[in-house]
Structure 1
Amino acid sequence: MSLVLPKLSVYLAEDSALVLRRLVALLESPGLARVVGVSDDATVAFDEILRLRPDVVVADLHLRVGNGLELIGRLNSTRCTATKIMLTNHAASTARRAARIAGADFFFDKTTEFSQAVSEIGKLAGKRSAYARSH
Structure 2
Amino acid sequence: MIRIVVAEDMHMIRTAMAALIETEEGMEVVGEADRGDVVLDLVRRTRPDLVLLDLDMPGADGLTVLAQLTAETPRPRVVILTAVGRPAAVRTALTAGVDGFILKSAPAAELLDGLRAVASGRRVLAPDLAAAAVVNGDSPLTAREADVLALVGKGAAVPDIAAALHLSEGTVRNYLTGVVDKLDARSRTDAVRIAESNGWI
Shared fold, TM over 0.5: yes
**Residues 4-43 of structure 1 correspond to what in structure 2 (within 5 A)?**
7-43=1-37
Contact 1:87/1:117 (CA < 8 Å) preserved in 2?
no
| Structure 1 position 62 matched with structure 2 position 56 | yes
Q: Which has the higher contact order (CA 8 A, sep 6+)?
A: 1
Query: What is the SS of the residue equivalent to 2:38?
Result: helix
Kindly report structure 1 stretches of 4+ aligned residues shifted beyond 4 Å. Answer: none
Larger Rg: 2
TM-score, normalised by the number of residues in structure 1: 0.78
Which residues of structure 1 form unaligned runs of 5+?
Answer: 1-6, 128-135
Q: Which has the higher strand share?
A: 1
TM-score, normalised by the number of residues in structure 2: 0.54
Contact 1:32/1:122 (CA < 8 Å) preserved in 2?
no
Contact 1:36/1:52 (CA < 8 Å) preserved in 2?
yes
Q: Tell me how many residue pairs correspond in the alignment.
A: 121
Distance 1:55 1:114 in 2: 20
The answer to which of 82-91 and 71-80 deviates more is 71-80
- Report the equivalent of 2:70: 76
Identical positions, percent:
28
**Residues 48-59 of structure 1 correspond to what in structure 2 (within 5 A)?**
48-59=42-53
Cα 1:113–1:72 change in 2 (3 A) is: farther
Over residues 87-106 of structure 1, what are the superposed CA-to-partner deviations in whole Å (9 max), with x where a residue is unaligned?
11121221211211232111
Cα 1:76–1:119 change in 2 (3 A) is: same
